[in-house]
Amino acid sequence: MASTGKVAIVTGSATGLGATCAIDLAEKGWNIAINYTKSKKEADETYAAVTAKGVEAILVQANMGEDADCRRLAAETMKKWGRIDGLINNAGTTKFQAQGDLEGVTPEDFDIIFRVNVTGPYMMSRAVYPAMKKQWEEKQERGSIVHVSSIAGVMGIGSSIPYGCSKGALNTLTLALARQLAPAVRVNTICPGFIQTRWLLGGLGEENYNKLKESQEQSAPLRQAGTTEQMAEAALFFLTSASNITGEFLIVDAGTHLGMLPMKPR
């Protein structure tokens, strides 16, 4: 598809959900700023997949926990295209904590996780806001920001306590930014449940990952374990379609938040 001229930044887009969002947006004709911290090889692969869709892309190595890097990512995007229409704040981090092991995370873990998962999306939103505000004032073209939160921020579950707390804070940040950046920018959030990703597999280990995946497929109301494609579909709905929606959270977890159903017989 030929480029529409629209531009999006997708943080943490070398792998997983971020990569899927970047590729799916490219399929819709958006030019993409691909961001990575360490995964250069995977970022190159995402770049190739994005540009194969007939659009333009740039690769920017930047740490989303550093304000200077956030501002540089926005600046390099503006230098390339002169506009920013969308931002998906996907980059995140965690530390895996065993159930009941309160000594398993430290105050420093809280600092790092909140820095990337909460302060990072704030800094990135702040970095792109001037461009989006200018487009609104000059062309009545409204920007769109989507945060990638988690069901952990709604239910207090997940890989660790600080991770769940950070995602709850990110949900609150969504409300605050939706108020403060209106009417120039819409701000919304998706809250994924289980997603089949290398990141989760690496954190849980193969045995625990497979057990959790099977549990989702057997007892989640929709009887399925989420994919990056399903999560990206929700993120792109907010980014590209939901023109009259701001300040909303969308839980995307196969209905897990409703309560697990009895396991299906084998």
Catalytic site positions: 163
Query: CA 103 to CA 81: how far, in whole Å?
Result: 48
Query: CA 13 to CA 35: how far, in whole Å?
Result: 5
Task: Look at residues 39, 5, 29 and name the one whose alpha carbon lies nearest to residue 18.
Answer: 39
CA 212 to chain centre: 22
Residue 134's identity, in one-letter code, is K
Find tokens 């490219």 and name the residue.
Answer: 26
Tell me the Cα Rg of the chain: 18
Q: Among the residues of 115-227, which ranges form H helices?
A: 120-139, 152-155, 161-181, 198-204, 206-219
Query: CA 158 to CA 168: how far, in whole Å?
Result: 12
Task: Look at residues 105, 111, 112, 125 and name the one whose alpha carbon lies nearest to residue 186.
Answer: 125
How many Å from the N-terminal Cα to the C-terminal Cα in the chain? 45
Task: Judge contact between 173 and 165, C-beta under 8 A.
Answer: no
